[in-house]
Chain A
């Protein structure tokens, strides 16, 4: 009886030792790995994803861009030549639309002169996309190229304008206030900071940005 008890104690000790050793080694392994990389495991997975994404994106983008550029250049040249001839021979008068991407200061001048932002927001009658439509159509009439931008979250949608400035890249404008706004997937829209009427009380993050030039 006594020896059986000793056996059981010995086996228990062995099992406990086994569990401790396995656990210890596993924990040590993870600890050493994460200490070396200086991050958590989920961060490591996210980094690996981003690394792979960036690597593939840049190489494929360049190849795809160059091939598309060359094809489109020839196609564009032919169409440009044709439209240019039309202007001279007056057979297709007015086909070319007088428009250009503004500089940043041109954009600011246009916004300062344009009065779309002074309109009153009326629920169901004159809302966000009405502001954008008016601003963009005024911009085109003034010879500036503008985009209609739709943004969405889980529980709201909104519209704003964008301009591809020659010197500062794409600038997003909240047409209810003419303020510049930064938008990013995963971030909330700064309704209050840019003086826009919010269609919701929810501060949900953006899930989609659609730019229609």
Chain B
């Protein structure tokens, strides 16, 4: 009788341990899934916000600017037969200066994104230096350009937000009176992409 009770107790213990282990596995599975869902939610939330902000800004600006342009035309002058156009304009020199005052725009991509959202025509200016003598590597200056209506074509170095000049065969730092670069920064090639 005693042996039977001990055996029964052992069976119950084993069953309890087994069920406990099973429950742990199940909880672990559920936790992993919940964690993955939460991570996905956070990333989706961030990406959705950023994408919505950019696309909504571009779409809203385009729609508003076209409507505004056509309205002023129809109110004050001979209306143009324009419907299918993308609103993009060349800025004044002063408008470019106001872009440069924005601290958050410190890369070519930032400036291009800002310009695209605000209908401003901007060029990506790619300046390549001569190859490094030892490794043969070239360095890039990623700049932006504007065709200002009152001051012609100007090139901006986005990090310093300053107006710069570029010329093939001339050192970038010398041309722009900057501290000497640690590498040969003679410009080898300039590509302007509108």
Contact = CB atoms under 8 A, between A and B. Distances in A.
B167 interface: no
Given A80-B64, A213-B116, A68 B53 contact: yes
A8 interface: no
A166 B62 CA distance: 14
Contacts of B18: 18, 21-22, 24-25
Contact of B124 (A80, A99, A101, A212): A212
A199 interface: no
A88 interface: yes
Nearest to A81: B68
Interface in B36-80: 36-45, 47-73, 76-77
Contact of B112 (A94, A129, A212): A212
Contact of B72 (A65, A76, A81): A81
Interface in A57-113: 57-85, 87-88, 92-101
Size category of the binding interface on chain B: 35 or more
B121 interface: yes
Interface residues of A, number: 79
A126 to B, nearest CB: 10
Interface string A114-146: 000000000000000110110011001000010
A48 interface: yes
Given A75-B64, A99-B88, A136-B194, A92 B149 contact: yes
B193 interface: yes
B41 A14 contact: no
Main secondary structure of the interface of A (DSSP, over half): helix
Interface in A1-54: 14, 17-18, 21-22, 24-26, 28-30, 33, 41, 44-46, 48-54
B90 interface: yes
9 contacts: A72-B56, A72-B117, A80-B68, A82-B68, A82-B72, A87-B77, A100-B84, A210-B109, A212-B124
Interface of B: 10, 14-15, 17-19, 21-22, 25-26, 29, 32-34, 36-45, 47-73, 76-77, 84-90, 92, 109, 112, 116-119, 121, 124, 126, 149, 191-194
Given A44-B29, A80-B66, A83-B69, 4 more contacts: A29-B25, A53-B41, A68-B56, A76-B119
